[in-house]
Amino acid sequence: MGAIQPKVSEPVSDELALVASAKAGDVTAFEELVRRYDRNVFRIAQHITQNREDAEDVVQDAFIKAYTNLKQFQGQSKFYTWLVRIAVNEALMKLRRRRPERTVSLDEEIKTEDDSVPREVADWSPNPEQQYKQAELREILDKTINGLPASFRTVFVLRDVEGLSTEETADALELSIPAVKSRLLRARLQLRERLNKYFQRPGRDKEKSNGAQKPISGDGNQ
């Protein structure tokens, strides 16, 4: 079984020139940066806020904040990573306003003890997503990721959906690399577990497989 294929990102060779022009007040150059990253910012914002209107606001607020604070961008990281950091903060603020009863923080420590140990190990059909129509599949994926804590969703969307590296994710979220890795593992495993009920093989194969439905033991076999 090989590694997942990383998402190929577009070349950004002219990006520093665009940023420099935008800093000098060229709104057209900034508009090009908006065009380049608005879809990513929207996706990230909706993953975090789980609300379409909030995500729209985040896109506007994040880009305007970026434009206003462009002078503070020193070019040590990519412009996109810097922009993501602004967008994530805006999105978390929206989420806190919408759910004031819950503290929403990227540092929140969610139940640590063995919550990443799979409880149910069921094999999936070869192309499980093809069992559903596109709209149904999107609904399943939306509902499933919605159930994860915000700090897990955020790391998952940056690393696995947007294709940022672990270092870039850590930089954008101001987290340590081990913290990013730990949240990513738990996010991936929890999503997998929650998707089991939609994607597992039909009964006959499940019975045939010795491993199906058996949890992985923490101290395992040698």
Partner 1 sequence: MKCSEFLHELTDYLDGVIDAPTKSELEEHLAWCHNCYVVCDTTKKTIEIYRDSQLYELPEDLRTRLRSAIVTKCQSRKKSEPGTA
What distance in Å separates the CA atoms of residue 22 and residue 29, rounded to the nearest whole number? Answer: 5
- 122: Cβ–Cβ under 8 A, 6 or more apart, which residues? 196, 200, 201, 206, 209, 212, 213
Tokens read off for 121: 């190990």
Q: Closer to partner 1 by CB, 42 or 93: give it.
A: 42
Q: Closer to partner 1 by CB, 7 or 101: give it.
A: 7
Shortest Å, Cβ 212 to partner 1: 8
What distance in Å separates the CA atoms of residue 180 and residue 166, rounded to the nearest whole number? Answer: 7
Measuring CA to CA, which residue among 116, 177, 186 is closest to residue 153? 186
DSSP-assigned beta bridge partners for residue 124? 200
Q: Closer to partner 1 by CB, 80 or 156: give it.
A: 156
Shortest Å, Cβ 3 to partner 1: 3
Regarding 195 and contact with partner 1 (CB under 8 A), the answer is yes
Cα 166 to Cα 14, 29, 77, distances in angstroms: 24, 29, 13
Number of residues engaging partner 1 in binding (CB under 8 A): 70
Shortest Å, Cβ 22 to partner 1: 8
- Applying CB under 8 A, among 99, 138, 197, 208 the residue interacting with partner 1 is 138
Regarding 29 and contact with partner 1 (CB under 8 A), the answer is no
What distance in Å separates the CA atoms of residue 53 and residue 63, rounded to the nearest whole number? Answer: 16
Regarding 88 and contact with partner 1 (CB under 8 A), the answer is no
Contact (Cβ atoms closer than 8 angstroms) between residue 179 and residue 133: no
Regarding 36 and contact with partner 1 (CB under 8 A), the answer is no
Regarding 21 and contact with partner 1 (CB under 8 A), the answer is no
- 180: Cβ–Cβ under 8 A, 6 or more apart, which residues? 155, 159, 166, 169, 170, 173
Q: Closer to partner 1 by CB, 25 or 100: give it.
A: 25
Interface contacts to partner 1, rule CB under 8 A: 1-4, 7, 22-23, 25, 27, 30-31, 34-35, 38-39, 42-43, 46-47, 55-56, 59-60, 63-64, 67-68, 70-71, 116-118, 121-124, 128-129, 137-138, 141-142, 145, 156, 160-161, 163, 166, 181, 184-185, 188-189, 191-192, 195-196, 199, 209-212, 214, 216-222
